[in-house]
Structure 1
Amino acid sequence: MTQEIKKSAKLSREERAAITLQDNWRKTELRTSQSSWAGGYNSFAVKYKKDTSRPAIIAEAAKVWSSNGKWSGNNMRVALSVPSHYWTTKVIGGILTIAPRTRFDEREYKAFWVEQGRGFSVKLIEGFVIRGHHIAGNDMEKARTKVAKIRSDAARLLLKKRHSLVEAGQKWVTIDDSLKAGNCRVGTDAFVKKLEKKLNAQGPIGAVRGDIIIALQDDYYTRRAIAVAEHSR
């Protein structure tokens, strides 16, 4: 059960920003409370700060009990503070990204993004988004170099062979293959969680056939992971 913020023209900027945060959070693999007998309430809030410091975000859970006192659960609260109303959130490559709204139209920009921590907690990462790639750090030139290498390596792999669905079915792909292909760790972990949910996996997945991966998501990122799997066996 997620807090529903009524969409109305009378809502404040912060309330409208909270709706955007709530909607974008749901599009990622970031955790929410799923309690059913007790709790299961998720609330989202955004606050605009008067200074120009970096954003801050917390996600925390509070234990609650059912009305009869027999069952326990969790309610989750997410609170985001940003320098001004020009800042907003957007999901890029499955990652909840925070930056000034005008930056999202650019090919490269400084940004912050949210990674899952332990339990319901989250971590705010600072870095750059370049051509859709999230690169942590504070040096734009180094980030550009990393992305250029990622794209160059991926292009070489894709040029070697175009994989058909049949060929992909003969390849077993691992997390290490995805990382070697240049896919970022955050995006890879997010895809694995989606895959585990789709397959109803009872535990961690060691490797998956390429055709199963393509059936779930056929794009540049999955294809290059399959290409690496072919050449690493």
Structure 2
Amino acid sequence: MINKQTIYKRSESRWVDPENEISVSFTDNEANIQQTSWHIWSSNGKWKGNDTLLKVTLPYRWYNKIYIKGFAVVDGWLILDIIEKIDEDNYKVIAGKQGRGFEVYPAPAVITKKDKKWTVKWIKERK
């Protein structure tokens, strides 16, 4: 599901055969998501590319509280946890957000149901 439904940047190359791995684990603690990448070379040593690893840590409650409700992936973003139920059509959540390059990190957002479709609106973090 993560590989097919999310829109996170993945390594692609004509000259190098990159691997895009996904690791999922479950925890009692906070959800987390991060993606790392490293350089690889073509078999002839001429072309450089990247392999990636998307590492997802979900709370044990994720399946019952998020997946079953139909918002595991919203607008291509993986919903990691619910922070607060605002009402039946609005939830404050933590979702995996794309950063620069291959970076992916947990970020606060609000998901809203409109016309039977969920959408994500990112919450700007104050610095």
TM-score calculated relative to the size of structure 1: 0.41
1:76 aligns with 2:65: no
Structure-to-structure mapping, 1:75-94, within 5 angstroms? 75-84=51-60, 86-87=62-63, 88=67, 90-94=72-76
Deviation at 1:93, TM superposition (A): 3.1
Distance in 1, Cα, partners of 2:122 & 2:43: 47
1:66 is aligned to 42
Q: Secondary structure at the match of 2:3?
A: helix
1:48 is aligned to 26
Question: Rg larger in 1 or in 2?
Answer: 1
Distance in 1, Cα, partners of 2:46 & 2:19: 18
Structure-to-structure mapping, 1:155-166, within 5 angstroms? none
2:62 and 2:80 in contact (8 A); partners too: no
1:111 is matched by which residue type in structure 2? V
Divergent runs of 4+, >6 A: none
| Larger strand fraction of residues | 2
Distance in 2, Cα, partners of 1:72 & 1:135: 34
Identity of aligned residues (%): 26
| Larger helix fraction of residues | 1
Distance in 1, Cα, partners of 2:46 & 2:124: 47
| Larger RCO: 1 or 2 (CA < 8 Å, sep 6+) | 2
1:36 aligns with 2:14: yes
2:112 and 2:120 in contact (8 A); partners too: yes
1:121 aligns with 2:103: yes
Deviation at 1:113, TM superposition (A): 1.6
1:22 aligns with 2:25: no
CA deviation string 1:125-159 (max 9, x = no partner): 12432333425279xxxxxxxxxxxxxxxxxxxxx
2:32 and 2:80 in contact (8 A); partners too: no
1:31 is matched by which residue type in structure 2? K
TM-score calculated relative to the size of structure 2: 0.70
1:115 is matched by which residue type in structure 2? K
CA deviation string 1:10-67 (max 9, x = no partner): xxxxxxxxxx222222xx2x21001222242111110011x2x321111111111122
Unaligned runs of 5+ in 1: 1-19, 139-233
2:58 is matched by which residue type in structure 1? V
1:115 and 1:124 in contact (8 A); partners too: yes
Distance in 1, Cα, partners of 2:122 & 2:50: 33
Q: Secondary structure at the match of 1:54?
A: coil
Distance in 2, Cα, partners of 1:23 & 1:68: 31
Residue-pair matches, total: 110
2:109 and 2:120 in contact (8 A); partners too: no
Unaligned runs of 5+ in 2: 114-118
2:123 is matched by which residue type in structure 1? A
